[in-house]
């Protein structure tokens, strides 16, 4: 899940990069954008108060949480480890 608002320039710049990363490297993951202004209760329920924040869930369990200063390469490495454990063939 990708938590941000339309007024966050960092979140707006990072979102297409994260979408592209998931599409190319991790096709079994589903990208979900959560607008924190539209559903503040949902964001609070997931304890997300900073934007952008990325949560990775596998089988309903949170495996990764990254907020604010997120590097795409760092994110790729963090997802890769969990992705291969979950989807190893």
Average pLDDT over residues 81-89: 82
- Superfamily name with CATH number, domain 2-87: Glutaredoxin (3.40.30.10)
| pTM for the predicted model, two decimal places | 0.88
Q: Where are the domains of the chain?
A: 2-87
For the segment 16-73, what is each residue's pLDDT rounded down to a tens digit?
Answer: 999 999 999 999 999 999 999 999 999 999 999 999 999 999 988 999 999 988 889 9
SS3 sequence of the chain: CEEECCCCHHHHHHHHHHHHHHHHHCCCCCCCEEECCCCHHHHHHCCCCCCCEEEEEECCEEEEEEECCCCHHHHHHHHHHHHHHHHCC
């Amino acid at each position: 899940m990708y938590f941000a608002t339309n007024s966050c320039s960092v979140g707006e710049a990072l979102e297409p990069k994260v979408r592209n990363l998931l599409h190319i490297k991790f096709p079994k993951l589903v990208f979900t954008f959560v607008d924190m202004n539209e559903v503040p209760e949902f964001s609070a329920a997931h304890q997300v108060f900073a934007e952008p924040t990325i949560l990775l869930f596998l089988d309903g369990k949170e495996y990764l949480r990254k907020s604010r200063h997120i590097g795409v390469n760092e994110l790729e490495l963090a997802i890769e480890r969990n992705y291969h454990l979950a989807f190893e063939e």
